[in-house]
Copies of this chain bind each other. A is one copy, B any other.
Amino acid sequence: MVLERVKQLAQQVSNTVAPAHPFDPLSSLEIEAAVSILRAKHGKLYYNAVTLLEPPKAEMLKWLADPETTPRPRRVADIVVITTDGKVFDGNVDLTEGKVISWKETPNVQPLITMEDLNAVEEVMRKDPKVIEQCGLVGIPAEEMHKVYCDPWTIGYDERFGNGVRLQQALMYYRPHVDDSQYTFPLDFCPIYDANKREIIHIDVPKVRRPLSKLPANNYHVQSIEEMGGYRTDIKPINITQPEGVSFKIQNRILEWQNFSVHIGFNYREGIVLNNITYFDKNENKTRPLFYRLSLAEMVVPYGNPEHPHQRKHAFDLGEYGAGYMTNSLSLGCDCKGSIHYMDAEFVNRAGAAQTIKNAICIHEEDNGILFKHTDFRDDSIIVTRARKLIISQIFTAANYEYCVYWIFHQDGTIQLEIKLTGILNTYAMNPGEDTKGWGTEVYPGVNAHNHQHLFCLRIDPNIDGPKNTIFQVDAAQGPGEVGSAENFYGNAFYAKKTKYTNPIEAMADYEGSTSRSWDIANESKINPYSHKPVAYKLVSREVPPLLPKKDSLVWKRAGFARHAVHVTKYSDEQLHPAGRHVPQTSGEPSMGLPQWINANPQAKIDNEDIVLWHTFGLTHFPAPEDYPIMPAEPMSLLLRPRHFFLRNPALDVPPSYARTPSQIAAGKNGCNCKDKASVQV
């Protein structure tokens, strides 16, 4: 019966008219096929992840170079399960051949916490007698347990429990009314949940108790705004339309737009994955590779309150929960505006069935103001050209916070990553008059929002005119020679000081604001014929705080990737997750992921090699009342800009809105006209 179903699914998969692109995420059918194959062999399992194992890069590069005659890389599912008795297995299933190709128990790890894992805690917590007792102590009667909520977080790492038991910590809240924002009513104790036993095994209770706030709610829902005087009525609609349609083409998951081509992948963990980004260069009359793969690979959100057990608040939202699993189903005109193309996301659930998040990815264009302009002051000759950008986006909700992720393509060849932070501050209870000691801010009476950082790790797998690339650190520097010297008489000399990274130890680098530090991802074997410099893309990133938790601290040990703004490693198919494959409950001893890989070969040659650049950026957030009860989106952004890559501005052939030359002016002719009929003067 099971084997029957397996064969049937395999048949369905291979019958698909267009075979999947090797970078395509697993389809629902493929997920179910993988599960069926495993089920036939191993029976009942709890599925943590069934995702595409991307083909080995060497194989994939061959196929991309010549897809017609090269064998298509096989489809392989990368699988994590928890057995019914709580063991973790990692395995691979070859979907092309319909067989398990690896299967291994992985001891002493905890795979990430899925949405199902998260959703299981609240019900258990509400029924736990010790939790009910604690609720009573802070002023909540037992009959109000339905008003008690929790945001279940991974436990981070708690040395009392280690990683042998699968745990979550329940950050506790109360809602006077079901529609009230619970974050205004934080409770002061913290139950710990055992996911295998499905019970509360411990409660952390602070020495100083903080009874439930009796103050009014602080809400943002419609009724609350109506009660506070109602909504603004003076915002007139802005309509954005594309009557002739969009300027991009999508075939399967390959997007083409303004000379760019990119395969749009998605997985449960990183969310959007951009593969095989190329640019058609008119000058060279060829398609030039830029990046083999771009993704947000990890993040960590350390909180700055040293009081126990707040040190456990340092979520790895990607490695511990998954930016894919937590992604929103997006709505037209709410999340994105204009002419939108959506893509769905498909995941496995705990039971092994495929499930779909509709509209997980939004693809749309926006006007982007002026692309370039110049007026000649002497004759009024002019060109003004408007810019367009293309945005591939997702939004994921990590309990209280939302992360809006925008991968933005620009006509001048720039690729931008913008992240907007919104949602709700994580809050903790405080007594009237209590001193926050500077570790947090009282954003509303009785509500302490702790200081925290959002540190993201961008994984850049470059392919700048080929896979062999080199990273140069670039610092703006004063020239040699004092003022008055022959070489620098007026003292104005300055230049771009470039430092080549030759091994991963040299490449562990911090940001330096005083030199406007940036990093060139260069191909030393291809020289720009004009500037005589290697073709490159420059990483320009200005929101790069250091990890504030100290060296050898718990977070420092667990989040090795966040110790430096930049790490560089030699490419390896296995190295995707800079804090390790299984992040929850890692102790940081040893540090998983990046530090491990670098320690294994600290003198690896990384210049003119196939390399990966890991960039940690983000921001430090000291909350203020303006961030509450819901936070206005705070954007941050970084750029990958072509430098010495093109022979000239690659957007010169974007039609101008208006242009006229000196000879046209002299001849009394108009220039080419502005085409934007939708604009009006008021």
Contact = CB atoms under 8 A, between A and B. Distances in A.
Interface in A233-280: 234-247, 258
25 contacts: A119-B377, A178-B666, A230-B653, A232-B653, A238-B367, A308-B489, A332-B680, A335-B370, A339-B680, A341-B682, A369-B633, A374-B400, A374-B402, A377-B397, A451-B495, A478-B550, A490-B553, A491-B553, A492-B555, A494-B620, A514-B546, A516-B620, A624-B642, A626-B643, A626-B649
Contacts of A422: 370-374
B443 A304 contact: no
Contacts of A626: 412-413, 641-646, 648-650
Given A531-B625, A648-B218, A662-B178, A335 B653 contact: no
A476 interface: yes
Contacts of A246: 236, 682
A630 B675 CA distance: 21
Interface in A84-106: none
A140 interface: no
Given A333-B679, A339-B680, A494 B548 contact: yes
Contacts of A482: 550
5 closest A-B pairs (Cβ-Cβ)? A513-B513, A491-B553, A333-B676, A311-B490, A412-B632
Contacts of A384: 331, 334-335
A46 interface: no
A423 B387 CA distance: 14
Contact of A633 (B387, B622, B632): B387
A112 B416 CA distance: 39
A133 interface: no
A438 interface: yes
A657 interface: yes
A680 B239 CA distance: 11
Contacts of A237: 242-244, 675-676, 678
B282 A513 contact: no
Given A422-B372, A546-B514, A681 B305 contact: no
A510 B514 CA distance: 9
Interface stretch (A186-194, A500-508, A537-545): A537-545
A328 B375 contact: yes
B334 A443 contact: no
A337 B222 contact: no
A531 B442 contact: yes
A42 interface: no
A466 interface: no
Interface residues of A, number: 190
Given A221-B661, A481-B306, A492 B654 contact: no
A326 B234 CA distance: 35
A175 to B, nearest CB: 9
Nearest to A391: B369
A63 interface: no
A308 B374 CA distance: 28
A138 interface: no
A413 to B, nearest CB: 7
Contact of A532 (B328, B442, B661): B442
A395 B235 CA distance: 27
A655 interface: yes
A423 to B, nearest CB: 5
Given A115-B377, A495-B451, A386 B337 contact: yes
Contacts of A487: 306
Interface in A545-599: 545-546, 548-556
A654 B341 CA distance: 27
Nearest to A218: B648
A650 B514 CA distance: 35
A609 interface: no
A383 interface: yes
A245 B682 contact: yes
A220 to B, nearest CB: 5
Contacts of A331: 384, 657-658, 674
Contact of A370 (B399, B420, B530, B645): B420
A197 to B, nearest CB: 21
A391 B190 CA distance: 47
Nearest to A646: B626
A511 B333 CA distance: 40
Given A333-B679, A370-B420, A491-B551, 4 more contacts: A231-B655, A241-B241, A339-B680, A492-B550
